[in-house]
Amino acid sequence: MYVPMNDLKIQYKRYKSEIDNAIFDLIQDSSFILGTSVREFEREFASFVDVRTCIGVSNGTDALKLALLAADIGVGDEVITVANTFGATVEAICHTGACPVLVDIHPEYYTMDISKVENSITAHTRAIIPVHLYGQTADMDPLLDLAKQNDLVVIEDAAQAHGATYKGQMAGGLGDLGCFSFYPGKNLGAYGDAGCVVTQDPELDMKIRQLRNHGQNADDKFNYQSIGFNHRMDGIQGAVLNVKLKYLNEWNHRRCILAERYEIGLQQVNEVQLPREAEYAGHVYHLYVIQVDEREELKKFLKHEGVDTSIQYPYPLHLTTAYEFLPYQEGDMPVCEEASKRILSLPLFPDMERDQIDFVIYKIREFYR
Ligand SMILES: *Cc1c(COP(=O)(O)O)cnc(C)c1O
C-alpha cells in the first residue's frame, strides 16, 4: 500500500463538475483579477470567520506583510513571534523593515509559549504574531491581555487553522488582524497561490484594500493614496475557493475523525508521543505531528514500507543561515530545538481511507515491536 502525505487529485475528482463549472464560468466572465468571484469569497469567508471584513490577496505571506504594513509597522519596530513556524511569518516581518523577536514554544501544543512573551517586550515592540500551528490555536486570552496592557497589535497567522476555534471562537477573528493562506495543501486550498486578511476594523480594511492594489482606492483609479503592491487575488482562485469553502467544515470534521483513529491506534505505543489538544482548542489537524526519539530511522522505515511523512519544521528559524543576523544561538529556544529533532508529520487528509490510517498505525507498531 502507498500512503502519500496528501492527494489533491482525489478531492478534485470528487467535486470535478462543480469546480469545472466554476472555473468555466469565470473564464466566460473573464474577470480574472479580483472581480465578482473574489468579492463573493470575501463576503462568505468573513461570515465563516465571523468578522466584519475579509480582503483577498495573492498568498498568505503577502497577507502577513500587508497586515503588518496596515498596522504601520516598519523600521525600528519589533514584532514577537515563534521560532517554530514556516519561514513566511518571519520573512513578512523582515520585509516591512521591522525586527523579528523570537520566543520558544509550548512543549505539548507547539504554539507560542505565552509565558515567554512578557520578557521579550521592549520599548520598540509593536506587534505579536501567534502562529496557530498544525491546526491548533495559540492560547489567545493571556496573549490578548498582554497585548492590551502594552498597546500591541495582535496579528494571527492562521495559515494552518481554517475553521479552528479558541473557546468556541474562530481562529483569525481573535486578534486585530488574521492572516490566512490558501496554498493548495492547506485545509482550504486554492488552485494556485492565494491568501486573505480578516479584520473587524474598517480603517485597516481600507488600508489593506489600497495596499494590495497599488495604493489605489477601488473607486478612484490611478489616484495613488499610498505606495502599494500588486498583491491581488486572482478571480479563478476566488471561484475555486467559493466552491470549496462550502465543504471546509465537513473536511475538517473528517480530519478530526482520522486523527482520533491515529490516537486510538497509537496510544499503546509508549515510544510515540501523540499530539495533544489544549482544553481551549477546536483542533482542525492541518498536520498530525508525533514525536519520537528515533525520528530518522522511523521516517526511513515508513518510506520503505510505502508511507510518506514530512517534518514541520526540521530547522528552528533562529538556526538557519538567513536569520544568523538575529541575536540568537543554539540553546536559546530549547523546546523548539528539541522538538525539531523529534517531530514527524504523518499522512492526514480528508480523502484518506481508514485502511490507509490503519496501515500507517500497523507499520509504526511493527517498527517498535
Ligand atoms: C503556508 C503558511 C504561510 C504562508 O502562506 P503562503 O500562501 O504559502 O504564502 C504562512 N504561515 C504559515 C504558518 C504557513 O503554514
Which of 252, 253, 212 has the alpha carbon at shortest distance from 234?
212
Work out which ligand 1 atom sits closest to the CA atom of 63. 9
Q: Output the CA–CA distances (angstroms, integers) from residue 124 to 62, 128, 153, 291, in the order listed.
A: 23, 12, 12, 36
110 lines ligand 1 (CB under 6 A): no
d(CA 4, CA 9): 12
Percent of all residues in the chain with a pLDDT value above 90, rounded to a whole number: 100
d(CA 313, CA 88): 13
Percent of all residues in the chain with a pLDDT value above 70, rounded to a whole number: 100
* Average confidence (pLDDT) over 250-255: 98
Mean pLDDT across the chain, nearest whole number?
Answer: 98
Which of 115, 89, 90 has the alpha carbon at shortest distance from 104?
115
Q: What is the pTM of this model?
A: 0.98
Give every CB contact of residue 26 below 8 A, 6+ residues apart in sequence: 32, 37, 235, 236, 238, 239
Work out which ligand 1 atom sits closest to the CA atom of 183. 7
Q: How far is the CA of 267 from the centre of ligand 1 (A)?
A: 31
| Candidate from 111, 157, 233 with most ligand 1 atoms within 8 A of CB, to mutate | 157
159 lines ligand 1 (CB under 6 A): yes
188 lines ligand 1 (CB under 6 A): no
Question: C-alpha grid cell for residue 245?
Answer: 469553502
Give every CB contact of residue 57 below 8 A, 6+ residues apart in sequence: 63, 66, 194, 195, 196, 197, 208, 212, 231, 232, 233
What type of residue is 51? V
Cα torsion at 85, 91, 92, 94 (round to 10°)?
130
248 lines ligand 1 (CB under 6 A): no
Peptide bond just before 313 cis, omega within 30 deg: yes
131 lines ligand 1 (CB under 6 A): yes
DSSP, res 347: P
312 lines ligand 1 (CB under 6 A): no
Give every CB contact of residue 18 below 8 A, 6+ residues apart in sequence: 243
195 lines ligand 1 (CB under 6 A): yes
Q: How far is the CA of 129 from the centre of ligand 1 (A)?
A: 13
Nearest 5°: the CA angle 198, 203, 206 is: 70
164 lines ligand 1 (CB under 6 A): no
What type of residue is 272? V
pLDDT tens readout for residues 261-300: 999 999 999 999 999 999 999 999 999 999 999 999 999 9
d(CA 320, CA 316): 7
144 lines ligand 1 (CB under 6 A): no
Q: How far is the CA of 209 from the centre of ligand 1 (A)?
A: 20
111 lines ligand 1 (CB under 6 A): no
- Closest C-alpha residue for ligand 1 atom 7: 60
Which of 56, 92, 53 has the alpha carbon at shortest distance from 73?
92
Q: How far is the CA of 62 from the centre of ligand 1 (A)?
A: 9
59 lines ligand 1 (CB under 6 A): yes
pLDDT band at 356 (very low <50, low <70, confident <90, very high): very high
Q: How far is the CA of 135 from the centre of ligand 1 (A)?
A: 13
pLDDT tens readout for residues 86-108: 999 999 999 999 999 999 999 99
Reduced 3-state DSSP string for 206-270: HHHHHHHECCCECCECCCCCCCCCECECEHHHHHHHHHHHCCHHHHHHHHHHHHHHHHHHHCCCC
Q: How far is the CA of 134 from the centre of ligand 1 (A)?
A: 12
- Closest C-alpha residue for ligand 1 atom 6: 60
pLDDT tens readout for residues 58-69: 999 999 999 999
pLDDT tens readout for residues 203-252: 999 999 999 999 999 999 999 999 999 999 999 999 999 999 999 999 99
10 Å CB burial of residue 149 (0-12, 13-18, 19+) is: exposed
